[in-house]
């Protein structure tokens, strides 16, 4: 399938991240107006909440867009998602009869602020990148114990903190935490010195479940995907993570892209997970390709400096898909809800240039990497980190919007009042 | 302080768990009526939602009780909590002028169903019992590695799954999960054979926070406490927990008592944490006693059989208080919200008879314990497990209501549709 041409001219460029094929879901505001649901098209956001209010967009079981988050649409399920896309496509397609009626609902992207696109119910973070798991395991436990024995059999993950999820553009304050180096007799409480990113994709659960679901059912529950930066304080993590896993090291912030790309927009880019090194048990086997070919990159920009792209990789590097992760998540009977967010785990490729964290890129700080005008082992104050993702189709691109965050200095005294 | 006598006669017995000193918060329904907020008094639940509606209970910033959960009161903060208790005490105290007006709002406890008392935002589970950590660490990693190096320095914990929290009385279905014994070449997917309880207290966050808070501030944020059973599948846990901590082993269900006991009711029972084995860093030190003297017990009743009390212990056994845990939870800047639930960690005492899990009581199944008419290593199908808690004051008792759950058999095929 090629580009679907729109009467919104800027949507038709091959490099535009928001062609009519995409129609990602966000929440925007203009000036002092209340936030509302919109979909990106070309250089604009389409005020779909306004279209629904005006009767130009009628959804089964609606109104569903009269709230400043996408959860009601997400919960409504695949038929409503398809109806939404079909109707908005009909309104925006080249030659659409409703063009004059729809034009007033286009707002230039340069004039809006973007907000969290959905209410995050719970947040789970996985560890499903083969190269990342091996790299980090080697640094934390040595090469011989790098890959935990369970890793090839289940998509291991941990529950993260939903309250930490913020939208792209939100500043991230360097955290304090308890740390203890191997050479220190007692721990210290201090600002993190090894603050890091993790390049991930996030799967957004639409349809809730009770009880175990199959991988195919899990795939059908997913509404769409976001870019996700799982900010990580490596020094805090190293001290706290045994035996119960990461906790405060991952609780400062988790930044997501402003746009949820719906599964339908990603459909042409489906791809299979890599060959299994050992067979999976039947309940975790994929009935079809469940990953996506999404080119990803990480860029760092020091304050007042020039951007350096630190890493380029692809979501197709993952060993487990979000559908497999979600299916595993339900095996115990764990109820899943609309708005649950599943982080893929850090997406590192096989080469040094495709690693998805500074921990890996600088090999635990031992091999600082070159950036424009300097070097980096971990994030320094006032660095801006940006994740980008793109599916490249025939004559069009599917984008998520930048997933960006500037790291501001730690509080001088976290308990000063 | 002794018993506060009420005109509700059944509230004045020394063994009654719901004297006027207690006034715990729950959500009840009668017949087909919608659930509503109530407080237990003697053999009754006081329909406080009805009292508010009738103008007999006016809360600052109210109405706050016109929803079937306590979150609005919880968020309103300590002054509103105090105003609520003062007014309800005045209405129920012996000789109250409003007795005739209030009597119609008493509903016998035998006639009501009890529901989750609050909307759980996020759920965190700690590991703060010294004896439990040593016992479990010994079984999982050997006595020499039993206590992790960080354990005496931070109250270590992990994020659990809020969607798994259910109210006392909810049946719990034995989960399936991936397990692998040390002697097996490949893992298997099967119903858990080592399904267990964990006896815990849960702290309920009322006032939200942004950024790090002190231990004293954390204590002030807590609305009250519940009994909490953190159901745990030990065989699933053993295979999945490294390196990211427990996940599906703890996601089947977490049962809480139907009543939240407000902090004010527990005030006379405050007690200090045990002496520190190593000094804590200043930000985790307690400015005063932050634990409570709450006698706890675990009972098991096989179907059609007789109850056996398996364990008796006390919340005062914990090494860390909920206030310390909550303060630690915020060190990274993690935002905390109204309705966050913090599990204390399993509360085991120093003796075999005071252990808070079957894993410890049966020492990993190697020493089955005697129950009326049989033995138990772990929970068997159709066993009912009950936690109970009580503070014993001068002539009165503070109770939480039973925290109970019957374990029903696993699904024959979790993917049969």
The CATH number linked to B63 is 2.30.30.230
Which of B98, B115, B132 is the endpoint of a domain?
B115
| B136 and B104 co-located in one domain | no
| B205 and B236 co-located in one domain | yes
Residue B1 predicted with pLDDT over 80: no
The answer, for B148 touching chain A at a CB cutoff of 8 Å, is: yes
Q: Are A280 and A274 in contact (CB under 8 A)?
A: no
pLDDT at A72: 98
Q: Which of B217, B333, B338, B412 to mutate to test the interface with A (most CBs of A within 10 A)?
A: B333
| A55 and A189 co-located in one domain | no
> Which has the minimum average pLDDT: A181-185, B68-72, B271-275, B358-362?
A181-185
Residue A204 predicted with pLDDT over 80: yes
Domain housing A341: 123-408
| A108 and A162 co-located in one domain | no
pLDDT digits (tens, 9 = 90+) for A305-337: 999 999 999 999 999 999 999 999 999 999 999
Distance from the B4 Cα atom to the nearest Cα atom in chain A, whole angstroms: 38
Beta partners for A112? A30
Residue B314 lies in a domain: yes
Residue A416 lies in a domain: no
Per DSSP (E only), the strands in A78-131 are 106-108, 112-115, 123-126
pLDDT at A181: 87
Residue A318 lies in a domain: yes
Virtual CA dihedral for A205, A207, A213, A216, nearest 10 degrees? -80
**CATH number of domain containing B341:** 3.90.850.10
- Residues B63-79 have a mean pLDDT of 98
For A104, residues 6+ apart whose C-beta sits below 8 A from its C-beta are none
pLDDT digits (tens, 9 = 90+) for B275-301: 999 999 999 999 999 999 999 999 999
Which of A97, A115, A133 is the endpoint of a domain?
A115
| B111 and B169 co-located in one domain | no
Q: Are A377 and A361 in contact (CB under 8 A)?
A: no
Residue B128 lies in a domain: yes
| CA B163 to chain CA centroid, nearest Å | 15
pLDDT digits (tens, 9 = 90+) for B128-139: 999 999 999 998
pLDDT at B365: 96
pLDDT digits (tens, 9 = 90+) for A373-413: 999 999 999 999 999 999 999 999 999 999 999 999 999 99
- Residues A225-253 have a mean pLDDT of 97
Residue A1 lies in a domain: no
pLDDT at A371: 98
| B136 and B236 co-located in one domain | yes
Residue A417 lies in a domain: no
For B27, residues 6+ apart whose C-beta sits below 8 A from its C-beta are B35, B36, B37, B38, B68, B69, B70, B114, B115, B116, B117, B258
pLDDT at B182: 85
Residue found by looking up tokens 């003796």 in the block: B351
pLDDT digits (tens, 9 = 90+) for B212-251: 999 999 999 999 999 999 999 999 999 999 899 999 999 9
Q: Domain count of chain B?
A: 2
Residue B78 lies in a domain: yes
Which of B83, B99, B115 is the endpoint of a domain?
B115
| B90 and B136 co-located in one domain | no
Contacts of residue A127 in chain B, CB cutoff 8 Å? Answer: 244
Q: Which of A221, A227, A229, A260 is nearest to A338 (CA)?
A: A221
* Binary contact (A329, B248; C-beta < 8 A): yes
| B61 and B149 co-located in one domain | no
Q: Are B113 and B148 in contact (CB under 8 A)?
A: no
pLDDT digits (tens, 9 = 90+) for A92-150: 999 999 999 999 999 999 999 999 999 999 999 999 999 999 999 998 888 888 999 99
Q: Are B180 and A153 in contact (CB under 8 A)?
A: yes
Q: How many residues does chain B have?
A: 417
Residue B134 lies in a domain: yes
Q: Which of A385, A118, A49, A405 is nearest to A260 (CA)?
A: A118
| 3 state DSSP class of A70 | coil
| A278 and A212 co-located in one domain | yes
| 3 state DSSP class of B88 | helix
Contacts of residue B244 in chain A, CB cutoff 8 Å? Answer: 127, 156-158, 241, 245-246
| A138 and A108 co-located in one domain | no
Tell me which residues of chain A, numbers 79 to 138, contact chain B at a CB-CB cutoff of 8 Å.
121-122, 127, 137
Q: What single string gives the DSSP state of each residue in B97-113?
A: TTHHHHGGGEEEGGGEE
Distance CA B356, CA B389 (A): 13
Residue A1 predicted with pLDDT over 90: no
Residue B414 predicted with pLDDT over 90: yes
| A19 and A145 co-located in one domain | no
Distance CA A123, CA A118 (A): 12
Distance CA B191, CA B213 (A): 42
| A248 and A194 co-located in one domain | yes
* Binary contact (A159, B156; C-beta < 8 A): no
* Residue B395 DSSP symbol: T
- Residues B410-417 have a mean pLDDT of 96
């Amino acid at each position: 399938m090629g580009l679907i041409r729109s009467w919104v001219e800027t949507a038709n460029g091959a490099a535009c991240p928001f062609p009519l094929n995409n129609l990602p879901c966000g929440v925007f505001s203009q000036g002092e107006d209340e936030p509302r649901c919109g979909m990106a098209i070309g250089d604009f956001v389409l005020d779909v909440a306004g279209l629904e209010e005006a009767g130009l967009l009628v959804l089964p079981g609606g109104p569903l867009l009269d709230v400043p988050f996408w959860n009601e649409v997400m919960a409504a399920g695949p038929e409503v998602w398809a109806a939404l896309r079909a109707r908005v496509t009909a309104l925006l397609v080249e030659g659409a009869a409703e063009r004059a009626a729809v034009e007033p609902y286009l707002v230039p992207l340069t004039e809006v602020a973007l907000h969290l696109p959905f209410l995050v119910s719970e947040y789970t973070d996985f560890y499903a990148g083969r190269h990342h798991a091996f790299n980090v395991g080697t640094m934390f436990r040595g090469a011989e114990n790098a890959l935990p024995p369970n890793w090839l059999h289940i998509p291991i993950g941990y529950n993260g903190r939903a309250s930490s999820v913020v939208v792209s553009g939100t500043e991230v304050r360097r955290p304090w935490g308890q740390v203890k180096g191997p050479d220190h007799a007692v721990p210290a409480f201090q600002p993190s010195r090894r603050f890091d990113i993790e390049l991930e994709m996030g799967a957004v659960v639409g349809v809730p479940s009770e009880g175990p679901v199959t991988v195919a059912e899990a795939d059908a529950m997913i509404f769409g995907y976001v870019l996700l930066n799982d900010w990580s304080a490596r020094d805090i993590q190293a001290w706290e993570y045994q035996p119960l896993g990461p906790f405060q090291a991952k609780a400062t912030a988790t930044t997501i892209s402003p746009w949820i790309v719906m599964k339908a927009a990603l459909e042409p880019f489906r791809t299979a997970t890599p060959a299994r090194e050992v067979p999976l048990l039947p309940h975790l086997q994929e009935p079809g390709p469940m990953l996506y070919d999404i080119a990803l990159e990480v860029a760092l920009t020091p304050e007042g400096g020039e951007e350096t792209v630190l890493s380029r990789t692809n979501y197709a590097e993952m060993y487990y898909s979000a559908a497999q992760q979600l299916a595993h998540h339900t095996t115990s009977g764990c109820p899943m809800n609309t708005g649950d967010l599943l982080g893929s785990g850090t997406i590192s490729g096989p080469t040094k240039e495709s690693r998805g964290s500074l921990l890996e890129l600088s090999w635990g700080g031992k091999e600082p990497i070159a950036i424009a005008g300097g070097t980096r082992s971990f994030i320094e104050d006032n660095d801006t980190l940006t994740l980008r993702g793109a599916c490249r189709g025939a004559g069009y691109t599917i984008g998520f919007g930048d997933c960006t965050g500037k790291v501001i200095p730690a509080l001088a005294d976290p308990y000063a009042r």
